[in-house]
C-alpha cells in the first residue's frame, strides 16, 4: 500500500516508525514530516493544513490510505475531503472532531450522556465570565473553547487569577479565535491519566494506559505545555478502574456521538482526573496524544496499519493487539524559553550515541537541517523514549539517553514517571 501520513511532530515520527513495520507497506510519505521521518519514508513539502495540496498529492501519488496525526487538519475536515476523493483516511470526520476542537460541544456530549466531568459554564462574553469568576470562592479552571495546542488551560487558585486568565483568552486573544468562548470549570483534585482507544464507530479497543506531564516545571509547576513527558502503563489505572472508565466514559461517549449523528472513527483520547469520587473527564482529543503516543507505540506489538484499516472499515472487533508488558518512559527535550518565546537554530549532537542504546528511540519533533547540521526548530525538539523491565529501569535508560544529547539551552524535566514510583 501507498500510505500518506499527515503531520510533522514527534507523534508523527513515532507513528511513521510503527507504520513502517507493516508488511502491507509499499511507500510511506509524510507531509510535511521532519528530519526523523525522512529516514523512514519520503517527506513531502506540504503543510498539514494545506488541505487542497494534500488531497491533490494523494490523488497524484495514488495513495491508498492516509493517516491524519494533528488536530488542526482533522478539525478542518481533511478526512472528509480525502473520503470525497475516494481515499480512505484514518481519523474522525470534521463533525466528530468537534469533540476536541470545541470544548463547549464536548461538554454538551458529556451532559447529554451523563458522563462524569467537572461542573462548568460556557461564556462568550468577557464581562459575564468576569462576573461569574468573581463570585466564586473555590479554585477554577479556565479553558479556551477552541484549539490552543494544549496550552489553553489555566488552573486558577483565586478569582483574580481566573479573571486575568479570562482576559488573556477573550480580550487579548492570546489563542486567536480559539478564545472566542471559554469554559469555566470547578477544579478537580487527583491524578491525571490518558486513556487512548481505537474506535470504529461502534466498537472500542482500549490501548495501554499512560500518564502525561503537562506543566513545564518539576513537581507539576508552572504553565501548561503540549506535554513534557509521559510513561505507559500508569499504575494508578488498575483493571477495575479501567473497566469503570470503559463503562462510564468511553462507551457512553461513543454511543452519545452516534445519537448526536456525529459517529466517531479514529483514536479517541480521554484526558481524565482520577478523583476520590472516581474518574472524571477533563478533555477529549480526537487523535493520538503527544507525547503519550511515543511510549504507547513503543509497547505495541503487531501491525498498526492493519488496525487502522480495521477502524476505517468497521472491523475493529476482528483485531487483537498484543502489548510488550515492559513499561516505557518518554522524556521531552525542549528549547530554552519554551512554552513562551524560545530559541531556534541550536545545533544538536549526540543523537547517534543515544540511538545505539538498547531499547531506546529518539523521536524528532521540533528539528530541522541548517547548513548540513541538525538544529532545533520548535519548542519541543526531541522525545527520548525507552523501554525497561520496570518503570524505574525505563526511566533510568531514558535519562541516560538524554545525557548523550546536547544543544544550547536544552531543558527537560527530571521527574518524568516519578508518580509511578511512589
On the question of pLDDT at 224 being above 90, the answer is: no
Q: What confidence tier does 151 reach under pLDDT thresholds 50, 70, 90?
A: confident
- Share of residues in the chain with pLDDT > 90 (%): 95
Q: What is the structure's pLDDT at 93?
A: 98
**pLDDT tens across 290-345, in order?**
999 999 999 999 999 999 999 999 999 999 999 999 999 999 999 999 999 999 99
CB atoms < 10 A from the CB of 36, how many?
Answer: 27
DSSP 115-153: --B--EEEES-HHHHHHHHHT--S-EEEEESS--TT--E
- Cα 72 to Cα 7, 79, 96, 120, 307: the distances in Å are 10, 11, 13, 25, 23
Q: Which of 156-160, 283-287, 346-350 has the lowest mean pLDDT?
A: 156-160
Domains parsed from the chain with CATH numbers: 2-94 (3.40.50.20), 119-186 (3.30.1490.20), 191-318 (3.30.470.20), 328-421 (3.90.600.10)
* Mean confidence (pLDDT) of the chain: 96
Cβ within 8 Å of residue 373, ≥6 positions away: 347, 348
Q: What is the structure's pLDDT at 163?
A: 94
Stretch 386-407: mean pLDDT: 98
On the question of pLDDT at 150 being above 90, the answer is: no
pTM of model > 0.85: yes
Amino acid at each position: 500500500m501507498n500510505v500518506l501520513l499527515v503531520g510533522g511532530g514527534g507523534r508523527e515520527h513515532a507513528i511513521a516508525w510503527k507504520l513502517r513495520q507493516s508488511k502491507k507497506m509499499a511507500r510511506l510519505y509524510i507531509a510535511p514530516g521532519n528530519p526523523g521521518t525522512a529516514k523512514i519514508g519520503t517527506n513531502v513539502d506540504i503543510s498539514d493544513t494545506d488541505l487542497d495540496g494534500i488531497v491533490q498529492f494523494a490523488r497524484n501519488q495514488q495513495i491508498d490510505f492516509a493517516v491524519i496525526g494533528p488536530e488542526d487538519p482533522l478539525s478542518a475536515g481533511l478526512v472528509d475531503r480525502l473520503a470525497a476523493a475516494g481515499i480512505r483516511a484514518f481519523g474522525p470526520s470534521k463533525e466528530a472532531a468537534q469533540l476536541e476542537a470545541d470544548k463547549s460541544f464536548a461538554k454538551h456530549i458529556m451532559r447529554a450522556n451523563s458522563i462524569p466531568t467537572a461542573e462548568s459554564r460556557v461564556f462568550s462574553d468577557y464581562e459575564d465570565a468576569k462576573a461569574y469568576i468573581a463570585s466564586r470562592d473555590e479554585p477554577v479552571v479556565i479553558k479556551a473553547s477552541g484549539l490552543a495546542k494544549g496550552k489553553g488551560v489555566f488552573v486558577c487558585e483565586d478569582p483574580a487569577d481566573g479573571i486575568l486568565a479570562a482576559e488573556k483568552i477573550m480580550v487579548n486573544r492570546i489563542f486567536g479565535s480559539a478564545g472566542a468562548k471559554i469554559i469555566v470549570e470547578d477544579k478537580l483534585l487527583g491524578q491525571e491519566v490518558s486513556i487512548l482507544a481505537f474506535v470504529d464507530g461502534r466498537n472500542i479497543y482500549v490501548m495501554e494506559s499512560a500518564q502525561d506531564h503537562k506543566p513545564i516545571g518539576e513537581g507539576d509547576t508552572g504553565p501548561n505545555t503540549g506535554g513534557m513527558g509521559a510513561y505507559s502503563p500508569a499504575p494508578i489505572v488498575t483493571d477495575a478502574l479501567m473497566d469503570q472508565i470503559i463503562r462510564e466514559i468511553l462507551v457512553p461517549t461513543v454511543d452519545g456521538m452516534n445519537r448526536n449523528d456525529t459517529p466517531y472513527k479514529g483514536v479517541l483520547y480521554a484526558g481524565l482526573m482520577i478523583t476520590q469520587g472516581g474518574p472524571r473527564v477533563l478533555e477529549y482529543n480526537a487523535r493520538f496524544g503527544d507525547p503519550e503516543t511515543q511510549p504507547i507505540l513503543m509497547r505495541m506489538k503487531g501491525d498498526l496499519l492493519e488496525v487502522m484499516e480495521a477502524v476505517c472499515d468497521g472491523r475493529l472487533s476482528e483485531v487483537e493487539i498484543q502489548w510488550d508488558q515492559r513499561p516505557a518512559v518518554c522524556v521531552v527535550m525542549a528549547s530554552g524559553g519554551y512554552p513562551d518565546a524560545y530559541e531556534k537554530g541550536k545545533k544538536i549532537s549526540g543523537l547517534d550515541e543515544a540511538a545505539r542504546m538498547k531499547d531506546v528511540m529518539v523521536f524528532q519533533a521540533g528539528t530541522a537541517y541548517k547548513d548540513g547540521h541538525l538544529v532545533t526548530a520548535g519548542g519541543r525538539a526531541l522525545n527520548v523514549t525507552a523501554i525497561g523491565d520496570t518503570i524505574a529501569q525505563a526511566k533510568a535508560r531514558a535519562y541516560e539517553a538524554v545525557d548523550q544529547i546536547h544543544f544550547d539551552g536544552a531543558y527537560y524535566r527530571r521527574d518524568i514517571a516519578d508518580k509511578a514510583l511512589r
